[in-house]
């Protein structure tokens, strides 16, 4: 598919061919995108929750009073979970919420996200991202000409420090390098702006991936196996001749 290349002033400066295997997937599968977003958010969780067990609370471990003769209920130490200030019976421990997804699946999810933006008309390719002067007002003016107010900008191999500083005070504008391109940040913003260098880097990385399957193709599986040849059976053994009148 072809897409116009624009300047920051929203003027056409050329066109670019986008690989259909990366930007032109026909059937956008929401289940793939959902699994990828869940994977990213799970890996971001800190997992630092922690409560103290009865062995960790700072209380006496001695028996409160003798077992019999007081007329009260039997109790052990004051750090038992039934007491206020005691330890938790099943305390929370730090844990990692992350889970694995294959490299091929993560690449497939990113291609679906890029194709979704291209199909909805929310993908913009610009020849260069950095404005002449790194000022917030200048960048806001360029974004206004491009008619974007909620956008993820992929600036290239490295993000210019002036561009980051100019965008810092503009709400709903994220700027990432090529290596930071990810499904969650693509989907959480309405528009996606790619520099020409970013498009070239994406093509170089993902153009040789296997073509995406539709939902019907994925449900059908890898294909039916060829019918196995019938197994050869050994000849039946001859029944032993039983003489009549022989003792049982």
pLDDT, average across residues 18-30? 93
Q: Tens digit of pLDDT for each residue in 225-234?
A: 555 667 777 7
Q: Tens digit of pLDDT for each residue in 141-173?
A: 999 999 999 999 999 889 989 999 999 999 999
Domain at 2-46+98-210: CATH architecture: 3-Layer(aba) Sandwich (3.40)
Q: Tens digit of pLDDT for each residue in 1-17?
A: 899 999 999 999 899 99
pLDDT of residue 241: 56
DSSP state of 161: H
CB 125 within 8 A of CB 199: yes
Residue 9, φ and ψ in degrees, nearest 5: -95, 15
Predicted model pTM: 0.78
């Amino acid at each position: 598919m072809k897409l116009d290349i624009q300047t920051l002033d929203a003027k056409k400066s050329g066109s670019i061919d986008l690989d259909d295997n990366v930007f032109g997937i026909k059937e956008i599968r929401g289940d793939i995108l959902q699994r990828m977003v869940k994977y990213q958010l799970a890996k971001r969780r800190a997992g630092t929750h922690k409560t103290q067990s009865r062995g960790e609370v700072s209380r006496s471990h001695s028996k409160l009073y003798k077992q019999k003769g007081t007329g009260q209920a039997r109790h052990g130490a004051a750090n038992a979970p039934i007491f206020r200030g005691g330890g938790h019976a099943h305390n929370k421990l730090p844990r990692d919420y992350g889970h694995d997804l294959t490299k091929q699946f993560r690449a497939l999810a990113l291609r679906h996200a890029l194709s979704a933006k291209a199909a909805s008309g929310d993908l913009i390719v610009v020849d260069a991202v950095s404005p002449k002067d790194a000022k917030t007002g200048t960048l806001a003016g360029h974004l206004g000409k491009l008619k974007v107010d909620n956008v993820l900008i992929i600036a290239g191999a490295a993000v210019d420090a002036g561009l980051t500083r100019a965008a810092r005070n503009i709400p709903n504008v994220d700027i990432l390098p090529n290596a930071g391109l990810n499904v969650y940040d693509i989907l959480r913003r309405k528009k996606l702006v790619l520099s020409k260098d970013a498009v070239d880097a994406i093509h170089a990385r993902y153009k040789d991936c296997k073509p995406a399957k539709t939902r019907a193709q994925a449900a059908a599986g890898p294909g039916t196996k060829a019918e196995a040849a019938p197994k050869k059976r050994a000849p039946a053994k001859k029944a032993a001749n039983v003489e009549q009148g022989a003792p049982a």
